[in-house]
Amino acid sequence: MSDLIEGYLGKSIEGKKSKMPARLDFIQSASGLFLGLFMWLHMLFVSTILVSEDFFNSVVHFLELKFVYDNPIMSYITSFLAACVLIVFIVHAGLAMRKFPINFRQYQLLRTHTKKMKHEDTTLWWVQAFTGFVMFFLGSAHLIFIITNADKISGDMSGERVINHFMWLFYIVLLICVELHGSIGLYRLCVKWGWFEGKNAKESRKKLKMAKWVISVFFLVLGVLSLAAFAKIGFENYQNQAQSALVKTYNGANYEYTI
């Protein structure tokens, strides 16, 4: 009965407001912080392809603990970690949707407020909301692919997906959304919870915003270079395969001619 009353009035029978919204907000912030830091580490891991293909493959084997037990079954470690990230990702997305406008009237009010205020942080929220919406689909698809194909993570196979399966467009869109959404989200967390605020909050916010843009540009450039490196590997492998097929066809034709 008390839950029913609280559901209608937003207050308990003792007249106290529910703490659930604050708890959900904290979980949203914590999950967002985890995902943002994870994506930075993930991008640094992927960028090892810029050193060499062998170095990238060795890092994959190290993270899968294949130095302990060198067996393909160790790829399930990647599947397990990706599944955990997917769960956190879905929880975070579900909690973030609480703050989205759910009908045209709410959307209209928010847009009017944004245009009238002309507040940069409000505009950043719109970018964060839009990129989050796109990420819900692309990010989920990427994580599900990793869960089900953890044994196919290597420089060669990743390059083949980027070129032969035309996945470069998918990863470009995902990269832009992830880096913008993540950097804006971490900036807003710092502002919301007063991290790095210092004595002058206004000045600190300017520095945080500048740091946000620097980090966004850095990881976007790093991501594009990494994607280009995978594309280069995939294109070279494609050319080698095409050349090998041509040689086999030519040799086969010569063999039939001599007979």
Name, in order, each residue with C-beta under 8 angstroms of 231's C-beta and a sequence gap of 6 or more: 159, 162, 163, 168
Q: How many angstroms separate the first and last alpha carbons of the chain? A: 92
- The reply to whether 42 sits in an annotated binding site is yes
Residue 165 labeled ligand binder: no
Asked if 120 contacts 53 with a C-beta cutoff of 8 angstroms, the reply is no
Numbered residues of the known binding site: 42, 92, 142, 181
Residue ranges of the binding site for heme b = 42, 92, 142, 181
